[in-house]
């Protein structure tokens, strides 16, 4: 697969050959769904918590006599049935992460990249860099490239000026090559890769079994 390489101002800067084994894989919704679920579950803090009847700070004294009330034989106000009592079977801190095979994660990454390439939503930049951290200049260049909602992947290190200029642009995410992931690729309309990012992606999948 061959794509044009563009400069930030929209002018052509050559072309690049993309590996069909990475950018030409037929997408499968079930694989992408599994990888996105895996990512989002792993991101969850899992800090939700409730107090059970043993955690609630209330009296442990029996609040009514055993017989003669005509009601149930209650012994504690901490019981879940009372207002201010503990919570029965409530959530407690835990990890929501679950396992997913490395090969499936790698396949999902290839499918996400291939989906963007197939729908014409993949743009290759010569380099994602600016001379100065000017948001106005970056927005003008984005206008020439037709970018309003995009994920931009730089090289091993994102250019500081580019990152500073893009950080308050809505619907635009900027990540280093190592930060490339299925969820962020799919949630943005366009995927912008620098030449350096293409090389990093090729090297990433050159290692046997490299995952997303």
174 & 104 share domain: yes
d(CA 47, CA 63): 34
Is 176 a member of any domain? yes
136 & 156 share domain: yes
82 & 110 share domain: no
Is 185 a member of any domain? yes
Q: How many domains does the chain have?
A: 2
Angle at 9 between CA 2 and CA 197, to 5 degrees: 45
The whole model's pTM is what?
Answer: 0.84
185 & 124 share domain: yes
> How high is the pLDDT of residue 206?
85
57 & 121 share domain: no
**Cβ contact 105:41 at 8 Å:** no
d(CA 136, CA 166): 10
Is 211 a member of any domain? no
Domain that holds residue 65: 50-90
**Cβ contact 82:75 at 8 Å:** no
Integer distance in angstroms from the first to the last C-alpha of the chain?
Answer: 22
Other C-beta atoms closer than 10 Å to the C-beta of 5 total 18
28 & 60 share domain: no
Is 67 a member of any domain? yes
> How high is the pLDDT of residue 63?
87
Three-state secondary structure call for residue 106: helix
Is 95 a member of any domain? no
With left for phi above 0 and alpha for psi between -120 and 50, is residue 203 left, alpha or beta?
A: alpha
119 & 197 share domain: yes
Among 197, 118, 105, 104, smallest CA distance to 151 is for 197
- Strand residues in the chain grouped as ranges (E): 2-6, 12-17, 122-125, 150-153, 172-175, 190-194
> How high is the pLDDT of residue 174?
97
Q: Phi first, then psi: what are they for 188, rounded to 5°?
A: -105, 150
CB-neighbour burial class of residue 61 (10 A; exposed 0-12, middle 13-18, buried 19+): exposed
What CATH number did the domain enclosing 137 receive?
3.40.1370.10
The one-digit pLDDT tens for each residue of the chain (212 residues) are 899 999 999 999 899 999 999 999 999 999 999 999 999 999 999 999 999 999 999 888 898 899 999 999 999 999 999 999 999 999 999 999 999 999 999 999 999 999 999 999 999 999 999 999 999 999 999 999 999 999 999 989 999 999 999 999 999 999 999 999 999 999 999 999 999 999 999 999 986 556 55
Measured CA distances, 34 to 60, 106, 209 (Å): 48, 12, 17
Is 153 a member of any domain? yes
Three-state secondary structure call for residue 44: coil
């Amino acid at each position: 697969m061959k794509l044009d390489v563009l400069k930030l101002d929209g002018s052509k800067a050559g072309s690049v050959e993309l590996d069909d084994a990475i950018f030409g894989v037929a997408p499968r919704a079930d694989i992408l769904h599994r990888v996105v679920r895996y990512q989002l579950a792993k991101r969850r803090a899992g800090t939700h918590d409730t107090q059970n009847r043993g955690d609630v700070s209330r009296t442990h004294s029996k609040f009514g006599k055993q017989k003669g009330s005509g009601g149930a034989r209650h012994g504690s106000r901490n019981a879940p049935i009372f207002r201010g009592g503990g919570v029965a079977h409530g959530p407690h801190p835990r990890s929501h992460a679950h396992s997913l095979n490395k090969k499936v994660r790698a396949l999902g990454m290839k499918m996400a990249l291939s989906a963007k390439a197939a729908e014409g939503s993949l743009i290759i930049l010569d380099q994602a860099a600016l001379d100065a951290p000017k948001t106005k200049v970056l927005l003008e260049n984005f206008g020439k490239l037709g970018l309003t909602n995009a994920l931009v992947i730089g090289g091993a290190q994102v250019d500081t000026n580019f990152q500073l200029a893009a950080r308050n642009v809505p619907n635009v995410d900027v990540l280093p090559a190592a930060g490339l992931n299925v969820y962020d690729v799919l949630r943005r309309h366009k995927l912008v890769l620098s030449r350096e990012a293409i090389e990093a992606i090729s090297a990433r999948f050159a290692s046997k079994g490299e995952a997303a």
